[in-house]
């Protein structure tokens, strides 16, 4: 039978009916027809599309599964970045957030849109004229993975939006997650087939969504709840976030059934407590509440800071705690020689993750807890923080337990251990002689904020030390391509690239070299202060404790650490070897008391025409100024370029002196 207009129209009607029933069932939880009748409609559509392949459309319900497996995921650039949220870990931090947004907007009572924070994977959907075109993960916020084929298999993601009046372009942001019932069933099936169970629903959702074969994804019980928009073209959004979410629901997109609009911080705390009680009864895992300033105009005024919006925050639930048995304690050695006791535990699930290790911090903490090997203990895991032992359940203590004692020698190199007076940390005195410290010191030396040796990963460092090819950071500059080729998983090209990266790192800055040395408690800011005030490596090595204490960011303990570090013969040898290898840096300018900005606080905002903001920041710091990211009463100057925004307004409100680019150049003499 030839294709006719009547058949084309009938297929179109069938497709609309099935899409309608899909949304009613999966999005609104309100099925209108029995499953058997739905199956009849779907089979009828399938028969027409098999007979007339030219009728198959991108938004056809038959196309949810069937694409060929991918060889790799492509990339999709987010036109509007997908930002992460700041966290409030307690009520005080949320109230501080509420106070700040009210101060910045001059609102007495802030209205928030609130909803549970799902524990899944953030995804962005792009619809054009109502049809799903692409789907992408958050990625780094700017570029995500193209998961379009897999997203099309998720029933709560409409292939076509409801209604005729849809925007030409609509990007929808939301969370893909796995309901608890589906997660339990999936793990049961995986284990019955001899596989490894997923640790938690989030891992299961992420792993399912990132399958190269869409048919595997389609077999997994994934859902999506929408919580925002990105690019929207051809339509004016409502005035509030909550109305925008309600509008998304009318288009057939699933949104949180627990969402509410709340007035003021007290209502937010009440909502938080209500959901916390309800948390264990929800059909999915959540780890907090998200509050968003409801008025979109106020969101625009508040803007963003770093990678997060100022107008939203995630109020996290308290850490979850569980009991387990402490099997044994091992002592690990860190980069600075710190000896840390680590509890080896009977594996247990905490906050959705299987935990078998926890930190005991130090011997003082062990003594405070009174913990012994064999004890039943309570462990806590807060977010991504390393789990920790928080208490001992003495009522469950068995008859035979073993007291935990500090080893008399370093467990790695057998060097003496010391505990400086007034400190809780015990340290190995082996320095670079200790293999554990050696590896960590070299990894730190090569890190991005230090010497920035691209391609020198942790596993390569471990191999280099194990094979006795390097003993300290200066040995890196003696490596040859033919030596590196012998390493596991190191080809000729990779070896050549690594040698080139090591050579490139020879041209650096003094503050980066100082930071790279790994002096205890000397971070980036202190390294810069030492550079600015002493000007050379020789001056730093010869400085006494009295002169070091006078430098900003250097107190008595840090001065002691610096002085001790440069008194060690092996450290002096390493530094000389580094200099002999050809490490150089431009001579820094030493701060003089007559510097016009010494000790002053600056904030730089907006777009500058002749200088980059990083250049300005570096120059100001070189002259002894402090550069802050936010305007406050302590700010001395705001440097404002084009599109300065809210920082300029706040500076004027606080009577902070504002400089344009020309005035800044005249002030500091660039």
Residue pair 487/467 in contact (Cβ under 8 Å)? The answer is yes
315 three-class SS: strand
Distance CA 10, CA 538 (A): 86
Q: Pick the catalytic residue: 40, 71, 100, 117? A: 117
Distance CA 589, CA 214 (A): 59
Q: Catalytic site residue 117?
A: yes
Residue pair 330/344 in contact (Cβ under 8 Å)? The answer is yes
391 three-class SS: strand
- DSSP, residue by residue, 156-184: TS-SB-SSS---SEEEEEEEEE--HHHHH
What does the radius of gyration of the chain's CA atoms come to, in whole angstroms? 30
Q: What six digits make up the tokens of 486?
A: 């012998």
242 three-class SS: helix
487 three-class SS: coil
Cβ neighbours of 23 (radius 10 Å): 21
Sequence-distant (6+) residues with CB within 8 A of 169 are 126, 127, 128, 231, 232, 233, 234
Distance CA 509, CA 521 (A): 19
Distance CA 184, CA 178 (A): 10
Task: Return the H-helix or E-strand segment holding 112.
Answer: strand 111-118
Sequence-distant (6+) residues with CB within 8 A of 158 are 19, 22, 23, 27, 132, 251, 252, 253
Distance CA 480, CA 469 (A): 10
Q: Within 13 A of 474's CA, how many CA atoms are on the CB side?
A: 15
- DSSP, residue by residue, 69-103: PPSS--EEE-SS-----EEE-SHHHHHHHHHHHHH
Taking the alpha carbons at both ends of the chain, their separation in whole angstroms is: 81
- The set of catalytic residues is 117
């Amino acid at each position: 039978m030839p294709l006719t207009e009547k058949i084309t129209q009938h297929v179109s009607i069938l497709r609309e009916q099935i899409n309608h029933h899909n949304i009613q069932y999966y999005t609104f939880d309100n099925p209108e027809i029995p499953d058997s009748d739905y199956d009849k409609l779907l089979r009828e559509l399938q028969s027409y599309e098999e007979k007339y392949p030219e009728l198959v459309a991108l938004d056809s319900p038959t196309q949810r599964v069937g694409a060929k497996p991918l060889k790799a995921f492509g990339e999709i650039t987010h036109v509007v970045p997908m930002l992460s949220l700041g966290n409030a870990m307690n009520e005080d931090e949320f109230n501080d957030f509420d106070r700040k947004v009210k101060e910045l907007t001059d609102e007495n009572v802030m209205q928030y849109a609130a909803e549970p924070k799902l524990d899944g994977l953030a995804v962005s959907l792009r619809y054009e004229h109502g049809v799903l075109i692409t789907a992408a993960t958050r990625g780094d916020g700017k570029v995500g993975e193209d998961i379009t084929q897999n997203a099309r298999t998720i029933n709560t993601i409409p292939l076509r939006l409801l209604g005729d009046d849809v925007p030409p372009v609509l990007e929808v942001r939301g969370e893909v997650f796995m309901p608890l019932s589906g997660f339990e069933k999936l793990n049961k099936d995986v284990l019955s087939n001899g596989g490894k169970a997923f640790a938690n629903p989030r891992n299961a959702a992420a792993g399912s969504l990132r399958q190269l074969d869409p048919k595997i994804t389609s077999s997994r019980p994934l859902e999506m709840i929408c919580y925002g928009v990105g690019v929207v073209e051809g339509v004016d959004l409502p005035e509030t976030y909550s109305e925008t979410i309600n509008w998304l629901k009318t288009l057939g997109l699933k949104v949180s059934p627990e969402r509410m609009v709340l007035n003021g911080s007290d209502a937010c705390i009440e909502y938080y407590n209500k959901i916390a009680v309800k948390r264990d009864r929800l059909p999915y895992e959540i780890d907090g509440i998200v509050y968003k300033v409801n008025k979109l105009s106020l969101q625009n005024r508040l803007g963003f800071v770093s990678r997060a919006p100022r107008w939203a925050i995630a109020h996290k639930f308290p850490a979850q705690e569980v009991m387990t048995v402490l099997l044994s304690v091992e002592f690990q050695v860190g980069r600075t020689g710190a000896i840390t006791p680590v509890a080896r535990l009977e594996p247990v699930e905490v906050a959705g993750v299987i935990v078998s290790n926890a930190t005991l911090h130090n011997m003082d903490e062990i003594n405070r807890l009174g913990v012994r090997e064999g004890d039943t203990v309570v462990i806590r895991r807060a977010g991504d923080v390393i789990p920790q032992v928080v208490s001992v359940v003495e009522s469950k203590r068995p008859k035979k337990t073993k007291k935990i004692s500090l080893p008399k020698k370093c467990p790695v190199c057998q060097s003496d251990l010391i505990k400086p007076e007034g400190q809780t940390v015990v340290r190995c005195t082996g320095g670079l002689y200790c293999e554990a410290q050696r590896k960590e010191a070299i990894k730190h030396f090569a890190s991005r904020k230090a010497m920035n040796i691209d391609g020198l990963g942790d596993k390569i460092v471990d191999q280099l030390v194990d094979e006795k090819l390097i003993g300290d950071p200066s040995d890196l500059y003696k490596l040859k391509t033919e030596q590196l080729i012998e390493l596991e998983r190191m080809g000729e090209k990779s070896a050549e690239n690594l040698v080139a990266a090591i050579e490139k790192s020879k041209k650096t800055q003094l503050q980066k070299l100082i930071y790279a040395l790994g002096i205890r408690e000397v971070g980036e800011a202190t390294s810069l202060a030492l550079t600015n005030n002493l000007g050379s490596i020789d001056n730093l090595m010869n400085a006494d404790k009295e002169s070091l204490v006078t430098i900003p960011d250097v107190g008595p303990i840090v001065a002691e650490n610096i002085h001790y570090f440069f008194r060690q013969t092996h450290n002096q040898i390493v530094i000389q070897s580094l200099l002999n290898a050809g490490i150089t840096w431009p001579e820094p300018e030493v701060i003089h008391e007559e510097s016009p900005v010494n000790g002053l606080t600056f904030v730089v905002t907006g777009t500058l025409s002749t200088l980059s903001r990083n250049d300005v920041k570096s120059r100001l710091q070189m002259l002894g100024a402090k550069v802050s990211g936010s305007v406050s009463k302590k700010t001395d100057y705001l440097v404002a370029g084009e599109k300065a925004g809210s920082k300029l307004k706040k500076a004027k409100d606080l009577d902070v002196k504002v400089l344009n680019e020309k005035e800044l150049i005249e002030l500091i003499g660039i």
